[in-house]
Every structure is written in C-alpha cells, then in structure tokens.
Amino acid sequence: MLLIHGGAGVIRKDMDAETERATRVALTAALRRGHALLAAGGSAVDAVSAAVVALEDAPYFNAGKGAVFTHDGVNELDAAIMDGASLRAGAVCGVQHVRNPVLLARAVMERSEHVMLAGAGAEAFARTQDIALVDPEYFRTGKRRQELADALRQSAAGEEVDHYGTVGAVALDGHGHLAAATSTGGMTDKRWGRIGDSPVIGAGTYANAVCAMSGTGWGEFYLRTAAAHAVCARVQLLHQSVTDAADAVINGDIPRLGGSGGAIVLGADGSFALPFNTDGMYRGWIGDDAEPHVAIWPDEC
C-alpha cells in the first residue's frame, strides 16, 4: 500500500481545468513509480523516496521544482524520511541547491550518524554523497513569483497570507514495514530561516512499527502538537484505529489551536486515513490491485 499527498489548502475557485488535469496526472505517476518498487519487492523506504522524488520533480507542488519563495525571493527547501521498522530517520532544512531534498534526507539517515542537517552544512554533505545539486533558478516558476508578489501586497495591506503546501508519502511493504517521507518549500513569504514541521521528526513526519504519517498544512500547529507522533502514539498505545487517531489530531487538536491542514496516515494492517479540513487536498492511494486512485476535493471518495 502506498499513499501520497501534494498538499492541503487547495482552493477550488483558483483551480483551472488544465492545472487540475496536469496535477492529477502527476499524482498518478508518483503512485505508479512508488508502487512499482513495492511490487518488485522493494522496501517501504524505497517506495516513499521514489514517490516523493516524482512529486518534487513536478512543478505543480510546493516542493523541489515549483517550491514557493521566501520573503527575500529565494527557495529554501526542507525534507525528512523515516523507517518505521528501525526508527531511523534523516532530515534536511534550508537547502537551496539540492534538486531532490528527500534523497539528501535519506542519505543523512543511511550514511551519517546524524538525523538533521541544515543549510550550507547539509549541502556540503550532499557533495560527498553525489546528491544532485542545481542552480537555484531550477526551482523557480512564474506562478510562485506571482504568489510572492501577491503575498507581499497582502502583508502590506494587513491581510492574512496562507500560501503553504507540502508533498509526502507513506508506504507499507511486503515485509510489513512502514515508512514516511515529506518534502516542502515552506510558506510563501517566510522570513528569518523559518523551518516548519515537515523536516521535524514527530511533527510533520513519523513512522513506527504500527503507523506512518506525513502531514501538510500550517506547520507551526503541527510542531506545537507533535502531530505525526501524536497520531501514531494513539494507534500504538491507545489502540485507536488510524481513522480515529488521525481525526482526533488533524481535525481536533490542530483546529482547536487555530491551525488547519491534512495528513495521510497508514497502519501496519493496511488501513489508512486521509483527513483534511481545508477546501481540498491533493491525495492518492494504490494497493495490491495496482490501480491508482487520485482525489483533490472533499466530495471525492
């Protein structure tokens, strides 16, 4: 089983037909890429890595190519990955030249003694691991430039700015092992090296022996609730279903504090949940029948 998301907070009135079609195609391709590895006997870590790389390479999501701009007009990328079977994890934050941050996060997990590396240090490590580096212009799109301009104008007028997004994947492999991965460009107009929940193990990304979660939404609230760990702790310690655990945190704890967003949650028994409390969430799932399912709006199954 493989679940993916491409971010919550999608607004129907802002979505044109061509963008919606292209986005669904990109989600389907990511599902097929990750599931092919599972079908060939690959690990859950392999599957989430491949799926997130596909989403990072697509320009429609706030991760990798197409990441949002900071207040200063640059792209600062974060990512994390976790192996539920071993509780190993790797994360990077604030990188500006790494084409696929999730691959660098995996390298941190598998080839270093650390869990999280930041900025120039993370990129120095990337050079020792043959991780692809690109000119920052690679990440930039006209749509994201316009979003920054809109955000700057809204901020100047005292209006709320809510441009954020993430991509992620959770997987269950043939050995019964779980994994989770998340990647993001953060929030449009972010300042001062802001880091959200995505690269923080236990906040936006977490996996253990019974549960895996990748979150998307207003990161400060996922950090304050340790959302991903909270969901999986409910499954593991309170023996809640993934649906009940996810609903309690994503649609309970976070909104009570004033936040919003969504998540993909997968249990070791193959049960899963895709809760969100925004206008829409890019999401998809694929199981033993190898048939990809993609949805955006609340009224889709």
54 found inside a domain: yes
State both tokens at 26: 């990109």
Residue 219 confidence (pLDDT): 95
> Quick check: 276 and 254 in contact, CB under 8 A?
no
State both tokens at 148: 């920054």
For residue 258, give its domain range: 2-295
Amino acid at 3: L
Query: How far apart, in whole angstroms, are the C-alpha atoms of residue 256 and residue 242?
Result: 20
The 10s digit of each residue's pLDDT in 211-230 is 999 999 999 999 999 999 99
134 found inside a domain: yes
> Looking at the chain, how many residues does it have?
301
Tell me how many domains the chain contains. 1
Sorted by sequence, the CB contacts under 8 Å of residue 205 that are 6+ apart come out as: 80, 81, 82, 89, 91, 168, 180, 181, 182, 197, 198, 199, 213, 214, 215, 228
Residue 159 confidence (pLDDT): 77
186 found inside a domain: yes
| CATH classification at residue 192 | 3.60.20.30
300 found inside a domain: no
The pTM for the full model equals: 0.96
301 found inside a domain: no
Amino acid at 262: G
Tell me the backbone φ, ψ of residue 5, rounded to 5 degrees.
-140, 155
Residue 156 confidence (pLDDT): 84
26 found inside a domain: yes
The 10s digit of each residue's pLDDT in 137-187 is 999 999 999 989 988 988 888 777 666 789 999 999 999 999 999 999 999
Residue 17 confidence (pLDDT): 92
> Quick check: 286 and 20 in contact, CB under 8 A?
no
Q: What is the mean pLDDT of each run of 10 residues along the chain (301 residues)?
A: 94 86 97 98 98 97 96 97 98 98 98 98 97 97 91 82 84 98 95 96 98 97 98 98 98 97 98 96 96 95 68
Measuring CA to CA, how many Å separate 118 from each of 37, 74, 124, 137? Answer: 29, 16, 10, 20
94 found inside a domain: yes
23 found inside a domain: yes
State both tokens at 217: 């939404």
Active site residues: 166
